[in-house]
């Protein structure tokens, strides 16, 4: 892309993935690329510490499921970093909710940054609890809506209300692609990007 990012940081737990990525980096670009094997929740602190207060950044969090902890978003929110997060709102939560609701501590607690998710009506049902009449009415409250509210409290107040939903080959919802920013300009840019198809074709504004 032009203008290019000054520095790029990539990490993955699987050595094979980082090796495959390194092979795809042109030699003339390797000076600005840091590619490491490791847990993003651990490596992020070292990266954030290197960023000045005036640095503008973009973090893309691309987990298979529940690997990203809320603490990672908290760290990124201490700098001027926009966040794109592939949030496992669809089949990931649906498949695991019953098991997670019965655990004293689950991966969902780490993703959520606490136990508040257990108070949402679907989680109470999964744990075998009865709902009050008010909770019955709000049973379908999206997980994404509640999660976005938590992230807003970190100062990332500019969020895309029409987050793209990614489907699998059976048209089953898998992920929401969430965008968070501290600046209105970030949200404007993201909405403009969403109007561009992978082919480069631009959608007409509606």
103, part of any domain: yes
pTM of the predicted protein model: 0.84
Overall domain count for the chain: 1
pLDDT in tens, 108-138: 999 999 999 988 877 877 777 775 655 544 4
Residue matched to tokens 């049973």: 139
Q: Are 145 and 122 in contact (CB under 8 A)?
A: no
Instruction: Please determine, for residue 197, whether its predicted confidence score (pLDDT) is greater than 80.
Output: no
Instruction: Please determine, for residue 206, whether its predicted confidence score (pLDDT) is greater than 60.
Output: no
178, part of any domain: yes
9, part of any domain: no
27, part of any domain: no
CA 101 to chain centroid: 22
pLDDT in tens, 32-85: 999 999 999 999 999 999 998 889 999 999 988 899 999 999 999 999 999 999
199, part of any domain: no
Range of the domain at 131: 39-194
CA angle, residues 18, 156, 190, in degrees to nearest 5: 65
113, part of any domain: yes
Smallest CA-to-CA distance from 70 within 103, 44, 101 is with 44
10, part of any domain: no
80, part of any domain: yes
């Amino acid at each position: 892309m032009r203008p290019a990012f000054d520095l790029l940081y990539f990490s993955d737990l699987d050595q094979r993935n980082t090796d495959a990525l390194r092979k795809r980096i042109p030699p003339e670009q390797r000076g600005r690329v840091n590619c490491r094997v490791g847990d993003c929740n651990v490596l992020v602190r070292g990266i954030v510490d290197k960023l000045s207060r005036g640095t503008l950044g973009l973090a893309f969090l691309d987990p298979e499921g529940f690997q990203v902890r809320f603490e990672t978003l908290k760290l990124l929110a201490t700098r001027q970093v926009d966040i794109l997060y592939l949030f496992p709102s669809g089949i990931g939560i649906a498949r695991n909710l019953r098991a997670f609701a019965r655990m004293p501590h689950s991966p969902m607690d780490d993703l959520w940054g606490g136990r508040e998710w257990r108070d949402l009506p679907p989680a109470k049902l999964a744990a075998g609890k009865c709902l009050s009449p008010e909770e019955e009415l709000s049973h379908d409250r999206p997980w994404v809506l509640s999660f976005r509210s938590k992230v807003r409290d970190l100062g990332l107040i500019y969020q895309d209300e029409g987050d793209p939903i990614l489907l699998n080959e059976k048209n089953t919802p898998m992920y929401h692609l969430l965008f968070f920013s501290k600046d209105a300009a970030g949200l404007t840019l993201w909405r403009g990007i969403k109007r561009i198809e992978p082919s480069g074709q631009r959608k007409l504004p509606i």
